Structure 1
Amino acid sequence: MTKEKISPGMQQYLDIKAQHPDAFLLFRMGDFYELFYDDAVEAAQILELTLTSRNKNAEHPIPMAGVPYHAAQQYIDTLVELGHKVAIAEQIEDPKTAVGVVKRAVVQIITPGTVVDSTKSDAESNFLVAIDQEGPSFALAYMDLATGQFFVTTLADFAAVCGEIRNLRARELVVGFNLSDTQQQVLSSQMNLLLSQEKEVVEDVHLIDTSLSAVEKTVAGKLLSYVHRTQLRELSHLQKIQRYEIKDYLQMDYATKASLDLLENGRTGKKHGSLYWLMDETKTAMGMRLLRSWIDRPLVDKERIVERQEIVQVFLDSFFERSDVSESLKGVYDIERLASRVSFGKTLPKDLLQLAQTLGNVPTIKGILEAIGHPVLDNLIAQLDSIPELHALISAAIDPDAQGTITEGNIIKAGFDQQLDQYRLVMREGTGWIAEIEAKERAHSGINNLKIDYNKKDGYYFHVTNSNLSQVPNHFFRKATLKNSERYGTEELAKIEGQMLEARDKSSNLEYEIFMRIRQEVEKYIGRLQSLAKALATVDVLQSFAVVAELQHLVRPSFTDNHTIAVEKGRHAVVEKVMGAQSYIPNSIYLDSQTNMQLITGPNMSGKSTYMRQLAIIVVMAQMGSYVPAETATLPLFDAIFTRIGAADDLVSGQSTFMVEMMEANKAVHLASKNSLILFDELGRGTATYDGMALAQAIIEHIHDQIGAKTLFATHYHELTALETELPHLENVHVSTLEQNGQVTFLHKIAPGPADKSYGIHVAKIAGLPSALLARADKILKKLEQQAAQISTDTVLTEPVVSDQLNLFDTTHPILERLAQLDLNQLTPVEALVFLSDLQKEL
């Protein structure tokens, strides 16, 4: 369409859309948000809207779709959840006073990383991540816009960047440099991130610490720039940036966290069956988020861990006080997110009422902690700032029965504002005043059917029929003449009418103004509210630790510097809770300072993986500051956990199970230290037997000789158990079984020494395979075992051996001569393939 054919309204739409080409533009028109052109076509399909058209009779009608203003949020949520951006264009002037087309402008751009009003659980943070590069190193900053949390770190390489983004479960990435094609492919296609470019840098000395490195300040500034550009408002709730390092926490990559079911069940994706599910006895949304954060990032600082343990112990020793704290926390709302709603200008009366209720509960919680009287609580008590002046303001101003909107009145308490009270008096008493005037004038005039009516055109008036016109008093003045009657007014009636109309018109506006003043006052306290939120969340999580310790019979672990693991009757607390305590069989785990590795053999389904995960879960719980599932537990402080448990094909990246195994093994081999924990389950089984066994042995030897990390290595390669005689820091353990009358029972107990057989056919029997098939498998197994016994009983290579196994023909064979004469350096790949093809044909 040419410009001349476009209406002024559509030109306005096109001008705004040109500024936001990567977003769905919701264009406010009356009570609807409209979408046009390609936006309309695509949105109609995604949101199942009716696709219509504007200018239907034109040569090129404009595709059009709309959503009601009051229901727009659900449609926005759907678009953003699918990874799209949504730009909201509102009318920014009153249509009644506008000259020509009503002015519109984008007031906010909602993206997957900047969602604040969302249907997502309040327990989950939504992190917007930004990355930048300077030389070989990268800087990464991230922010949760709903709470204002703001962090930055430096990472050594792109692999570390991807790992941290995965750990943060980010959905949108702000990129501050030009990505290579490979980086673009990884981030966009494999990690399914929405990529947003940002080149501008915002310098904010209040938020961005000047002590940061240049690239850290740059990435933080670009993240702030993007946030301001999309939210189009001052965000007073953003917190000062915190710098962290990966090594400040127990390092675990995304695959490790998934395999250990830390935050969600790896098979179902649900909370049930995860460590988070086990540990969550919190009472507040703030506590739930903090608990997830602590599980996701356990500590490596012994002093901080012990401080948490001490508070848990105090709560365990103070049952009644802890119960009172838990009960009081039930009245605590999510003031961290309420503060952000104030900053965004989206506060409603119910938000302020929730804030007041929370502030009202703080003195009670503080008093209970003070009554316990333990010095370890002093720091927490000091942070419990009840902000009494803010509580008093909200309590005095906001009506407990306030409506959900701020433009229709009935939100400010009586007695808070004198003018508002006068308006309400007029509206409340005005009807009675009208009735009094009506009765007085009826008696004075003698017109028995004289009455006062109201309409928008004439206001309040006396209705007098033609038959009574002779009795109309002199102080009446005519307002309107009808066929059979006249309408009259009086000065007294006009005065009352003026007061009532003024009260009706101005009361709601005055209430809105008062509410806005209160909201501005609340905004001054955002920093104190955020500090209070952190303190309340910490109290909540630590009381939750105490409750879980009591319910699940957990014990306080101790930490040692001598590299010893001593867990007496340890349990996998999540499995135990699912199965029931009576069904779960505990296992002790001992690795002294001279034993770094356990080689675990035993049949499938016997408990090897649970035994390994059990140790990892105990370590995670201990370094969170929680108590652990055991009778006693002494542990070293670990710096990282590496796992290779339950790998599967990564189809998106085009990687097979074996490749995933090798990549996870590679991370451990390169990144683990002597203070790490490594868990390898059936490493090497994704390839041919001898390949897998050779790799498994080489990896065991490398970890044993070069790294020295505490390692649990479960395997079906029984031949590897011979390594115990060669490697001084390795010991064999196995899962016990009981075999009677051809029936095998798995005891799920770890015992010293290697297992004697695999019992794979027995597991197949449990799975329900046909008996004839199982009998055939048993015959084949015996035949293979006999053949293996004739060849060799020792396949573990302790020294390189020169083998003749490729001696398929005479050493004087002509093909050998041709191979010997071949100059590989002069051969192209195609020539090599042709040469091999010729050899194959000759053979």
Structure 2
Amino acid sequence: MSDSDVLPTSEKATVEPFPSNYVGRTPLLKQYFTTRSERPGVILLMRVGDFFEAYGEDAEIIAHELQIALTGRDDGGVRVPMAGVPYHSVERYIARLIARGHRVALMDQVEDPRFAKGLVKRKVTRVVTPGTVLEDAMLDSRSNNYLVAAVIGDPVAGVGVVDVSTGEFLTTEIEGERRKERLLEEIARLEPAEILVPEGVDAELIEAIKATCTGSVTVMPRSEGGQRSTSTDSRQLLLAHFQTQSLRGFGCEEYTAGIDACALILRYLRQTQMGALAHIRSLATYSTEEFMTLDSAARRHLELLAPMGDGGRQRTLLGVLDETLTPMGGRLLKRWIEEPLLEVGRIQRRQEAVEELVRDPIRRGDLRDLLRGMGDIERLVSRAAAGLANARDLVALRNALLRLPNIATVLAGARSEKLRDLASRLACPLDIVERIGRAIQDDPPAGLREGGLIRPGYHAELDKLRAVSADAKGYIANLEATERERTGIASLKVGYNAVFGYYIEVTKANLSKVPSNYLRKQTTVNAERYITPELKEYEALVLGAEEKAIELEYELFLGVRERVGEAAPEVLAVARAVAELDVLASFAETAVRHRYVRPEVHEGDSIHILGGRHPVIERIGLGGDYIPNDCHLDEENRLLIITGPNMSGKSSYLRQTALIVLLAQIGSFVPADSASIGIVDRIFTRVGAHDELASGQSTFMVEMSETANILNNATARSLVILDEIGRGTSTYDGLSIAWAVAEYLVQIGCKTLFATHYHHLNELANRYPVVKNFRVAVREQGEHIIWLRKLVPGGTDKSYGIQVARMAGVPLEVVERAKEILKSLEKGSAGVTRDIVDSGQQVPERKQKLQLTLFEPERHPILEELEALDITTMTPMEALMKIEAWRRQLKQGR
């Protein structure tokens, strides 16, 4: 299907802007615009024949967004803009509209046009929004599609989370003075497609949410039916939906803002996706305290789900770790990566399951064979519960569920507690598997009103109708041969069209042989068409039986789908067990293929890694074989100062340590010879340089903001990795900041890896026993250096920047001049480190200008002004305006 399959038009006329208050004159358009006025803020698509059409402003919008023809329809002397798309490919077009930030209401026909008296009845059957999508064509099979509601209460903030496509419904509450900031962090972690906020929330929060994630924000009115809703109303809404007397069974009886957030979601789904409510039959609570906190900076710097540069998914932790074989497993793996556990027992139960599958390749292979190609049980049953599944969906669901007994057999006799538990959760209602198999054809059509859905033998009345139709068709099929023999007309044909039904066609050359019982029905250029009373009688049998059979098949299918939808809670529980098995088997497969080992995870406060490797760099093979390195962080080694030249591997070492810790806490094996990991509550990162010009923040401002976040929130249980703090400003400023940050981290007591070019910081090891110096070893060969990428004890007093410049192809005269300048600068900076150590608290004011040899001796007034500027508070535009003012001043001075 191409975009040329849109609504045909004989004109691409330019249509004048259309009034928004148009009400329609003809019955069809009056029906459209009346409904449109009841649905502000959405694009309305109305089913008309084989197309979904839009009129007026909506037509203009979809014509522009979808790049399809804009035509028009006459409406009592007014030319109304019109555009449309074929009904059988509407999902594809809706997906494009959703991606562009629109919401789409579908107004479908609710009666058969053949039997309609007057205007066909239509109504809005659903409103599709970014957070309420159910169709596979609009979803990433390996990512959840979350709809999140956020409510800021006092003293707690509430979060409601639902994935309509899987039926998952969660809530949590966040307390404390930082609840707003932590709420934003949680929204960023969830990466929702759509966020609901209650009416009246301050605009600052909405803007903060928009800055936090890419999902659309929808403001929900606090009133319903003209009445302002309260927390009591929210609780009653949840009780009515779940048909319970309390919320204690869901673990949220004492919740306040969390209940308000969940009610916000239910009200929204009731307005947009009434059918989706059917399979949301349970609510689970979770706590952000259960998981290691990973802020957006950590997720970005560690490249957990998306690379910082080019390269695609294979350059992320998810890409190299993902050996899952089912969509459910793929989604769960992504969640586990973002939710490292803090409870040793839960981690160890996962590890035990992975270890058993590592040590038993036959069990692992059999399990993965059964998982391979399995349908998406979660989304298939969710579509059934929402009334959107077709016959092929039910067949795919049945085929997936048929594998469960074999999976349970493979897990029989498993020793690990986790595998035994998952095996016990694989039982599902067998009657739905049996009913689908008995009722639905193995290869049914995609449409539901074409016939061919139901197996013979499932329903006696349907079989009878099919037999009548088949007998009549058999008579008609034989009629052509019978009449040719009876009349002697060798060219006689029996045909069919939708207007006249069945007919007998005789060429004009043979009209003299036409029997007297033939009744002329139509004349064509070369022939006459006839009917007979007997032919019409059989035609009535065929068409009547077929029509009744198709309608009966549809009703029977709806009955099967409804039963499947009723079993959704049980089937979803099975799907989640399958997802866990898939992820654990994926961990085992990765461990075997890439020599990962089981880490020891404990409650202590130390990290010991021998032969650690970066999982992503090792896999993609940058720079040849990956050189492993050790890492020891404990009470005596709290902050490691790591020096070495550019491209030597400092950043990779920092990241690999953080990734190994994260892998250990999600229950995976790790790329190392051995590892002992004490539980880490947070991983903080400050790596690389980037600006955020859209928010007016320079590279250095972003660096300092991320550093401030670390210093304000790190605890003694945190792991901090810092790369090149202070490089975004002048050398003395940057060195001062780096020194002070390091001292502050020592006071916090967090485990820290601090990579820097400021080799002056090696002096910290003489001042603080918990600070240790390491360097990345290099070998010098004349003017060249060889990176050994091996971490060794001790600091360095060289950065090798000029050698790197030479290797990068910088002109030789520039390199030689740089050497001369470096010698001068090194003389000028002598004694700086001693001044820092002697001060005890902070870096003293500069005693001589670092770049004196590069400028004229007399100070220019602009230099004084430049030195006084606070660049951390300037926007890029202000900086450009200041530079332009200096330029004019210099020009006037000349």
Give the TM interval when normalised to the shorter protein: 0.7 to 0.9
Aligned-pair CA distance for 1:610 = 0.6
Letter aligned with residue 204 of structure 1? L
CA distance in 1, matches of 2:651, 2:120: 66
CA distance in 1, matches of 2:172, 2:278: 23
Check whether the contact 1:719–1:796 (CA below 8 A) recurs between aligned residues: no
Residues 116-150 of structure 1: CA deviation (Å, up to 9, x unaligned): 22344200111111111222532111211111111
Query: Does structure 1 residue 16 correspond to structure 2 residue 61?
Result: no
Query: Does structure 1 residue 717 correspond to structure 2 residue 758?
Result: yes
Change (3 A) 1:743 1:354: same
2:570 is aligned, of 515, 525, 528, to 528
Count matched residues. 797
Check whether the contact 1:466–1:486 (CA below 8 A) recurs between aligned residues: no
- Give the corresponding residue for 2:106: 88
- Give the corresponding residue for 1:264: 306
- Give the corresponding residue for 1:821: none
- Give the corresponding residue for 1:63: 81
For the residue of structure 1 that corresponds to 2:734, the secondary structure is helix
For the residue of structure 2 that corresponds to 1:173, the secondary structure is strand
- Give the corresponding residue for 1:298: 340
1:195 is aligned, of 198, 217, 233, to 217
Letter aligned with residue 197 of structure 1? V
CA distance in 2, matches of 1:407, 1:567: 63
Aligned-pair CA distance for 1:337 = 0.3
Aligned-pair CA distance for 1:526 = 0.8
Spell out the pairing of 1:807-822 with structure 2 (5 A cutoff): none
CA distance in 2, matches of 1:729, 1:781: 32
2:376 is aligned, of 294, 314, 334, to 334
- Give the corresponding residue for 1:396: 438
Letter aligned with residue 162 of structure 1? L
Residues 652-700 of structure 1: CA deviation (Å, up to 9, x unaligned): 2211112211221122222211111111111111122222222222221
- Give the corresponding residue for 1:185: 207
Change (3 A) 1:429 1:667: same
- Give the corresponding residue for 1:167: 189
Range with greater deviation from structure 2 (615-624 or 350-359): 350-359
CA distance in 2, matches of 1:440, 1:699: 99
CA distance in 2, matches of 1:525, 1:801: 67
Change (3 A) 1:802 1:761: closer
- Give the corresponding residue for 1:812: none
CA distance in 1, matches of 2:660, 2:568: 38
CA distance in 2, matches of 1:83, 1:520: 32
Range with greater deviation from structure 2 (266-275 or 667-676): 266-275
Q: Percent identity?
A: 36
Range with greater deviation from structure 2 (635-644 or 722-731): 722-731
Query: Does structure 1 residue 113 correspond to structure 2 residue 131?
Result: yes
2:644 is aligned, of 564, 580, 602, to 602
CA distance in 2, matches of 1:581, 1:779: 32
- Give the corresponding residue for 1:26: 45
Check whether the contact 1:644–1:661 (CA below 8 A) recurs between aligned residues: yes
Gaps of 5+ in 2: 1-18, 225-232, 850-894
For the residue of structure 1 that corresponds to 2:342, the secondary structure is coil
CA distance in 1, matches of 2:589, 2:530: 79
- Give the corresponding residue for 2:808: 767
CA distance in 2, matches of 1:461, 1:692: 92
Residues 50-71 of structure 1: CA deviation (Å, up to 9, x unaligned): 223344995x643332222223
CA distance in 2, matches of 1:49, 1:31: 17
1:675 is aligned, of 712, 717, 734, to 717
Residues 505-559 of structure 1: CA deviation (Å, up to 9, x unaligned): 2221121121111111211211111011011111111111111000110111002
- Give the corresponding residue for 1:278: 320
Change (3 A) 1:779 1:378: same
For the pair shown, the structure with the greater C-alpha radius of gyration is 1
CA distance in 1, matches of 2:198, 2:669: 43
Spell out the pairing of 1:121-160 with structure 2 (5 A cutoff): 121-135=140-154, 137-156=156-175, 157-160=179-182
Letter aligned with residue 128 of structure 2? I
1:176 is aligned, of 186, 192, 198, to 198
Change (3 A) 1:155 1:368: same
Check whether the contact 2:184–2:212 (CA below 8 A) recurs between aligned residues: no
For the residue of structure 1 that corresponds to 2:463, the secondary structure is helix
Residues 195-244 of structure 1: CA deviation (Å, up to 9, x unaligned): 21222565122556451412111111011111221113352222522212
Change (3 A) 1:132 1:41: same
Letter aligned with residue 44 of structure 1? A
Check whether the contact 1:284–1:540 (CA below 8 A) recurs between aligned residues: yes
- Give the corresponding residue for 1:380: 422
Aligned-pair CA distance for 1:98 = 4.3
CA distance in 2, matches of 1:764, 1:160: 43
Aligned-pair CA distance for 1:283 = 0.9
- Give the corresponding residue for 2:773: 732
Gaps of 5+ in 1: 809-843
Change (3 A) 1:61 1:407: closer
- Give the corresponding residue for 2:875: none
Spell out the pairing of 1:410-809 with structure 2 (5 A cutoff): 410-433=452-475, 489=533, 498-579=540-621, 583-705=625-747, 707-789=748-830, 794-796=835-837, 798-800=839-841
1:308 is aligned, of 339, 350, 357, to 350
CA distance in 2, matches of 1:180, 1:594: 48
Aligned-pair CA distance for 1:38 = 2.6
Change (3 A) 1:806 1:432: closer
CA RMSD of aligned residues (A): 3.3
- Give the corresponding residue for 1:831: none
Check whether the contact 2:187–2:212 (CA below 8 A) recurs between aligned residues: no
Change (3 A) 1:434 1:61: closer
Check whether the contact 2:386–2:565 (CA below 8 A) recurs between aligned residues: no
CA distance in 2, matches of 1:340, 1:334: 10
Aligned-pair CA distance for 1:329 = 0.8
Change (3 A) 1:6 1:412: closer
Check whether the contact 2:740–2:842 (CA below 8 A) recurs between aligned residues: no
Change (3 A) 1:548 1:485: closer
CA distance in 2, matches of 1:629, 1:213: 42
Query: Does structure 1 residue 42 correspond to structure 2 residue 61?
Result: yes
